[in-house]
Amino acid sequence: MEEAIVILMLFIGLPWLILHYMTKWKTAATITTDDEVLLEELYNLAKRLDERMDTVERLVAADNPEFKPARIVADRDIDNQPLRELDRLLAEKKGTLR
């Protein structure tokens, strides 16, 4: 009698358990290749727009001294590096105009 229970558990219970968790694991939320492409595009787009917005803000601030771009995260190094370059170019341009 006990042997039968052990065999039943081994050949029905164990595969059942494994298959149950396999289906659960397969239906769990994972990223597909499409999601990955989408996330990559969004990342690049956000980065590009951020850089463009920095440039526009600097250009507007150069033309109108009263315009001060308000930032939540002000003075980030990642923004400052290309902005310094832009400032330098603007200064050069003003120098040649006069």
Partner 1 sequence: MNGERTTFYRDKQSAKLMGVCSGLEDYTGINAIWWRLAFVILTITSGIGIPIYFVLGFLASKKPAHLYVDRDEEKYWQRVRQSPKRTAREIRARFRDIDRRLAEVEHHYVSSNPRLSAEIERLR
Task: Choose, by CB under 8 A, the member of 9, 37, 89, 91 that binds partner 1.
Answer: 37
Whole-number minimum distance, CB 32 to partner 1, in Å?
A: 7
* Binding letters toward partner 1, positions 53-72, x by CB under 8 A: x--xx--x--xx-xx-xxxx
Of 4 and 72, nearer to partner 1 (C-beta) is: 72
Residues 6+ positions from 60 with CB-CB distance below 8 Å: 67, 69
* Chain centre distance of CA 63: 33
Helices (H) and strands (E) in the chain, counts: 4, 0
23 near partner 1 (CB under 8 A): no
Return the structure tokens found at 91: 């200064």
> How many other C-beta atoms lie within 10 A of the C-beta of residue 54?
19
Q: Which residues bind partner 1 (CB under 8 A)?
A: 30-33, 35-37, 39-40, 42-43, 46, 49-50, 53, 56-57, 60, 63-64, 66-67, 69-72, 78
